[in-house]
Structure 1
């Protein structure tokens, strides 16, 4: 995934980042130990910033690592941050640490994705939820957004799909605003165009759940909504039960490699005891 920037010089690009962050020239100057006059000269091309200044301004503007390399190149300097493939020998300790983390989180689902939601690793809790998913969606490279929202993926089993889908698309929109990634924009346009299950899918779900499952779903409404008021849960149908999850996303602090900077660890925490018990029983017994 390569960042493509217009040949307009680094100044206008830094100005775009500053305006996107809604920071004045004076505020940026104070943060970067410079002057508003010097920031103005850099943005208008009257002054060429040093490599150190480009990096300092990028740090204060919270520019993603990949984009910092692009700014350096446009300014006439060599990229500062490596982009090491995750399967490279130098990444072996990182891969092992991620595997240990995912395994330790079992039986609850957890996975690692890259900057365009490609699944790098996943644990047995995730594998359990993939029952019935199209084999085509599970063929490498697997994409988490495509897997979740595709009508032959997890979407038909997400009970509150409209809310969950809207949240995922909003998350992607925020990333697109932050990153200059054509690949991310293309993925967003693809998954946003997927048809959402309508009344027919709701009827099929009700038939699969049966009386006990329907009661389970209704029971969730009264039992757990207050407990999960702090975050939007994902309600997921699995083997006639409605499971409830709250997700969290973690990234690496101060990464020095583009690959590492774009990794995200997503974990799904059971929002009720019934979900936790279901996962403990099925992951331990069958996977």
Structure 2
């Protein structure tokens, strides 16, 4: 996995993000309407940029909102972005909107996770898939990656486990490269070390699906039925709060008619 250079001051932090993004000082200066000389002076500590320039540089380097606050603090400025707990009264409209979205998506599975895959909300479609998962994995705080890849979790039920596991680990690697997150790195090290259990259902090669997929499906067994889902992840546009910036809504679209029929049946 790629790592980002670290340092205690603004200069090392900015240089680390610039090198991580593989952007030269000149290219960054052109993007941010500055000069390569000024960028160099900032990175070596010879110049203190304005708050506006720091935010502009962060925008052009696609630095996560949480880390933009770190850049501002390192330069002696106040954080620009609040970090509000989801249960705060000011987040009432957000919580209600999320609940309506998740409920409206039923009977298909959908959930919301934070930046370390802690589940903050889920609908009944997700609860159905978790049937039979041991209580110790369902104790709060629930973690979506741990629930999915743990050998006592969903992993034994996933019919294309090796493919889906590889997809999830690659997704985490990309996130670690984009955002410096020690908790996320620790989670990756934990779940990537889980042994691969043997699936309880038929292997894809022995039971090929008759429907062509337009994206890698999650194929999972539920009460003797092979269900197929295509996952879609949504985030909030132009977030102004760290908590909101790190939320992701994942919905699972049925990938074949058999899955639609099963989920919409009274016993599904």
Same fold judged by TM-score > 0.5?
yes
| Structure 1 counterpart SS, 2:121 | strand
Shift of the alpha carbon at 1:33? 0.9
What residue number does 1:209 align with?
A: none
| Structure 1 counterpart SS, 2:231 | strand
| Structure 2 counterpart SS, 1:163 | helix
Check whether the contact 1:7–1:74 (CA below 8 A) recurs between aligned residues: no
Shift of the alpha carbon at 1:165? 0.4
What residue number does 1:235 align with?
A: 219
Aligned residues: 263
| Structure 2 counterpart SS, 1:137 | helix
Shift of the alpha carbon at 1:205? 3.3
- Structure-1 separation of matches of 2:129 and 2:165: 17
TM-score, normalised with respect to structure 1: 0.88
Name which of 250, 253, 262 aligns with 2:246: 262
| Structure 1 counterpart SS, 2:98 | helix
What residue number does 1:145 align with?
A: 145
Shift of the alpha carbon at 1:6? 5.5
- Structure-1 separation of matches of 2:135 and 2:109: 20
Which runs of structure 2 are paired with 1:58-207 in the superposition (5 Å)? 58-197=58-197, 201-202=198-199, 204-205=200-201
Segments of 4+ in structure 1 off by > 6 A? none
Check whether the contact 1:32–1:60 (CA below 8 A) recurs between aligned residues: yes
What are the Cα deviations for residues 56-104 of structure 1, in whole angstroms up to 9, with x where unaligned?
1001111000000011111111111100000111101100000000011
Shift of the alpha carbon at 1:42? 1.1
Between stretches 103-112 and 24-33, larger displacement belongs to 24-33
Check whether the contact 2:11–2:42 (CA below 8 A) recurs between aligned residues: yes
What residue number does 1:281 align with?
A: 265
Shift of the alpha carbon at 1:34? 0.9
What residue number does 1:223 align with?
A: 210
Q: Structure 1: which 5+ runs fail to align?
A: 207-213
Shift of the alpha carbon at 1:7? 5.1
